[in-house]
Structure 1
Amino acid sequence: MALSSNQQSESERLWTRSFISLTISAFLLFLNLHMLLSTFSSYVKNEFAASDLQVSLVTSVFAGAAILTRFLAAGLLRKMSPNVLLLVGLVIAATATVLNSVAGSVEALLLVRAVYGIGFGIGSTLLPTFASRIIPIRRMGEGIGYFGLSSSLAMSIGPMIGLNVMREYGFTPLTLIGMTAVLMMFPLLLLTRAFPPIRPAKPTEKPHHSSHQLQGEGRSKAKQRPAFNRGLVFPALLNMILAITYSGLLSFIALFGEFVHLEQVGLFFLFNAVTIVLIRPVSGRIFDTKGHAAVLIPAALLVIASMLVLSFTTTLPLLVLSALLYGLGFGAIQPTLQAWMLRISKPEQYGAANSMFYNSMDFGVAVGAVLLGAIASRTDYAVMYRYSAGFMGMFLLCYLGVQLVKQTRRSKHKAHINDTSSIDTPSSS
């Protein structure tokens, strides 16, 4: 009995060596992404005299390639080991990172960004999939929350590092630092044996026709739950809208700093990171006890306030205030949406839910870069951030509208049940 108890305790451990390695690796991968993504706008504009539309394409091409790669990942996994596929993806990402500095034209840079998107798409799909396979089922929400903190921190710290390195040393040293961040993942993953034992399914295997599975689930094939969970669509849509506002920060805040003559605009991401770290555990507990409405509504208002403050910013204190507000809002919304998507999914759907979460984020970044870039080219960066506030207003209206419709349907259904019950109940004489 003692051995069984120890084994059970071991199986419930979250902070294993593999989980820590995968979490740090995810941080390094996203750090590589956001260090460079935040600097591309000023680099492309100054190096190639590019238009705002061309600047936005640098972001959108990468995101489009990452999204397409995630859709193709399932087919690739049937043909090769997931462990090998991850290593190949990381090699592609590291190589493309350093090639950014030798691209001699906007067209060549777009090609390199597309190749990088392939490598990043593979890495950002398999790392959370590996993590979800080693997190104890009972602690899945907690584990995914901590794992997701790695990308949130990278999204906040990366731009600050990238902008400072770019200003002090230039773009080429920045690409070398970015490549180093990816290369650090190889010994981390290999020496700690962070890869879980995942075996790709053989073409001859037909797991859906297994009589054992049908008996265990106690249902026929006709009644099996479809692989695609339609409930994921709405939170993914909200995540995409949120990502549009983040895209405006990633793609254009360096240019906005030049526009309003603020040299320390990179501090936005530092103060943003502080509030993200503070709010994430709090928002998670609120979500667990009171549901997503208690988090999403006030957090959306905070993001709206942040974008409005930023649009009127001409001094460092206003920039810091905007960053603090955005960190509180973004840091609460993003993990809540991911936890919401996981909560309405079965364990075997976690991979699809995570993939859809990251795809919606990348799609929002791509759409936001093009859309906000077009707005900035016709107006200015301050007006562009007011449009970002408008997108978060749309986020809030969509959420409230859907919640109102659901509540109305529940009320009608409850009234119908009460009416039916009163009819069926015989009156007392």
Structure 2
Amino acid sequence: MTRGGQKLWTTGFVLAIITNFFVFLVFYLLMTTMALYAVEQFSVSDSSAGFASGSFVVGALVARIFSGKFLDFIGRRKLLLGGLALFTAAALLYPLADSFAGLLAIRLVHGAAFGAASTSISASVMGLIPVHRRGEGTGYFGISTTLATAVGPFLAVLIVDSMTYDFLFLASAACAALALIVALMLKLPERTPTPAERARKWRLRFTDILDPAALPIASIMFVAGASYAGILTFINSYAKSENLVAAASAFFLVYAAVVLVSRLFMGRLQDTYGDNAVIYPTLVSFAVGLALVAWAPNAFVLAAAGVFVGIGFGALVPTGQAIAVTMAPPHRIGLATSTYFIMMDAGVGLGPLVLGALIPVTGFHGMYWLLAGCIVATTALYHFVHGHKRYRRGAEPATGTPA
């Protein structure tokens, strides 16, 4: 399958998709169950349970800060394999946690390994995608995350209900090990830092940690990530309180199906008609989905919300990433990628902590209404940070092929 003389579906691209699927499968297996596990195992509050879930992302955020800076100095393949090895080992430590503090420590380490591995694979795959098909290729790559979104929560609930948490942790370790095995067969495009970059290797100024060109769209993902964390972390508790548990499971299945379909064409729409033709509708759809979750008088409405959240947040992640790497110069692709996910991780990681403290005041309904309002406001924010810009696709700062 070629277009414009460059092949998209290479062996490396397929292996990268498979690796990413298993990495995110572990993320969703544990993210959707960790808050409940913390409550049942250590009798903590909703706020603390939210932090038990979000601390994984805090660890990932810290790792991304340094991974983006040192990616090309360490080597993309070395960072990926090292991160996955630690990712596998950390998954085996959960049964050993005999205190809430111990659980948090494991979550932070596990998250750091996730951050290093996912930054490496997400940045490196851009070198496997033809520049003129970046939106399309990023969307296809994101399908792996979408499938993990569907399979992960479903398997997690099934395992916890019919088996034990220890078996869940063992299954997570097995998935991490599969990611490592597939990654061993993956050859990533490496890039050699210039002498000037080597001279600045240990300098850690703001622009060495975060890429200014990627920050505008990354700020959108901070709010979107925090809003999606409200669903990911608390929808099971919300559904249980409203006797809509089956609908919550259906929500994730509908969400995943919609995202899977949307990513078959959203990237092409972005490449053909520009960023605004995709971003504005996805933000509006995300707001509508959150509003439906907040309202949800019955199981049908809650499940239907998955359609709008799928078109919204599900399509927003890859299209936003395509913008981030497009706006950055070629030698800062890795840093732009880490900047994008640092901001999204910050939202996903801090969201459960803040929202967990908010729930006793607003209730679940009020929290989701508030999140819907935040996404509406974010639509205006997008206009000011990126939407008002005018440039031709194919003439961006990052038109060189990333190494």
TM-score (normalizing by structure 2): 0.86
* 1:250 counterpart letter in structure 2: L
Compared with structure 1, are the counterparts of its residues 405 and 77 closer, same or farther at alpha carbon in structure 2 (3 Å cutoff)? closer
Match of 1:5 in 2: none
Q: Is residue 249 of structure 1 aligned with residue 231 of structure 2?
A: yes
For residue 300 of structure 2, the aligned residue among 313, 317, 327 is: 317
TM-aligned CA deviation for residue 245 of structure 1: 1.4
1:280 to 259, 263, 268: 263
**Take 1:66 and 1:292, find their aligned partners in 2: how far apart are those partners?**
28
Q: What residue is the counterpart of 1:128 in the other structure?
A: 122
The verdict on how the C-alpha distance between 1:318 and 1:243 changes in structure 2, with shifts beyond 3 A counting, is same
After TM superposition, list the pairs within 5 Å mapping 1:219-298 onto structure 2: 229-264=211-246, 265-298=248-281
For structure 2, the residue ranges without an aligned partner over 5 or more in a row are 200-206, 391-403
2:368 corresponds to 1:385: yes
Q: Structure 1 residues 209 and 86 mapped into 2: Cα distance closer, same or farther (>3 Å)?
A: closer
Letter in 1 for 2:38: V
Query: Could you say what secondary structure the match of 1:150 adopts?
Result: helix
Paired residue secondary structure (1:281): coil
Equivalent of residue 167 in structure 1, options 161, 166, 185: 161
After the TM superposition, which residues 410-425 of structure 1 pair with which residues of structure 2 at under 5 Å, given as runs? none
- Structure 1 CA distance, aligned partners of 2:335 and 2:56? 21
Task: Give the 3 Å change call, closer, same or farther, for CA 345–402 of structure 1 in structure 2.
Answer: closer
Contact between 1:302 and 1:326, CA under 8 Å: does it hold in 2?
yes
Are positions 1:113 and 2:107 aligned together?
Answer: yes
Q: CA deviation at 1:326?
A: 0.9
Q: Distance in 1 between matches of 2:70 and 2:91?
A: 23
Corresponding residue for residue 94 of structure 2: 100
| Aligned residue type for 1:273 | A
Take 1:403 and 1:78, find their aligned partners in 2: how far apart are those partners? 28
- Deviation for aligned residue 1:75: 6.2
Match in the other structure for 1:206: 195
Equivalence for 2:7: 13
Shift of 1:40: 0.9
Per the alignment, residue 136 of structure 2 pairs with 142
Equivalent-residue separation in structure 2 for 1:92 and 1:107 (angstroms): 20
Structure 1 residue aligned with 2:322: 339
Deviation digits for residues 33-80 of structure 1 (CA, Å, limit 9, x no counterpart): 111101111111122211111012113322222111122225655775
Please name the residue that 1:54 is paired with.
48
Task: Tell me the CA shift for residue 209 of structure 1.
Answer: 10
CA distance in 2, matches of 1:75, 1:302: 34
Deviation at 1:153, TM superposition (A): 2.9
The answer for the alignment partner of 1:329 in structure 2 is: 312
Contact 1:77/1:200 (CA < 8 Å) preserved in 2? no
Structure scoring higher RCO (CA < 8 A, sep ≥ 6) equals: 2
Aligned to 2:288: 305
Unmatched runs of 5 consecutive residues or more in structure 1: 1-7, 211-225, 408-429
Q: Contact 1:132–1:351 (CA<8 Å) still a contact in 2?
A: no
CA contact (8 A) 2:68 2:338 kept: no
Query: For residues 68 and 290 of structure 2, what CA distance do their matches in structure 1 show?
Result: 38
Is contact 1:97–1:175 with CA below 8 Å preserved after alignment?
A: yes
Checking the alignment, whether the CA contact within 8 Å between 1:90 and 1:123 is kept in structure 2 is: yes
Question: Measured at CA, do residues 79 and 357 of structure 1 come closer, stay the same or move farther in structure 2, by a change above 3 Å?
Answer: closer
For 1:138 and 1:379, locate their aligned partners in 2 and report how far apart those are by CA, in whole Å: 46
In percent, how many aligned pairs have the same letter?
28
Pairs aligned (count):
380
Contact 1:279/1:332 (8 A) holds in 2: yes
1:376 paired to 2:365:
no
> How large is the Cα RMSD of the aligned pairs?
2.8
1:378-415 deviation line (CA, Å, top 9, x unaligned): 232222111211221221231245568769xxxxxxxx
Give the distance between the partners of 2:388 and 2:73, measured in 1 at CA.
45
Larger mean CA deviation between 238-247 and 338-347 belongs to 338-347
Deviation at 1:235, TM superposition (A): 0.6
Matches within 5 A, 1:186-201: 186-190=180-184, 192=185, 194-196=186-188, 198=190
For residues 96 and 62 of structure 2, the distance between their equivalents in structure 1, rounded to whole angstroms, comes to 25
How much has 1:312 moved relative to structure 2?
A: 2.3
1:104 Cα offset (Å): 1.8
Contact 1:160 1:267 (C-alpha < 8 Å) held by counterparts:
no
TM-score by length of 1: 0.81
Determine which of 345, 349, 352 is the counterpart of 1:362: 345
The reply to whether residue 185 of structure 1 matches residue 169 of structure 2 is: no
Of the candidates 31, 37, 42, which is equivalent to residue 25 of structure 2?
31
d(CA) in 2 for partners of 1:321, 1:362? 26
Alignment counterpart, residue 170 of structure 2, candidates 176, 184, 195 = 176
Q: CA offset at residue 207 of structure 1?
A: 4.9
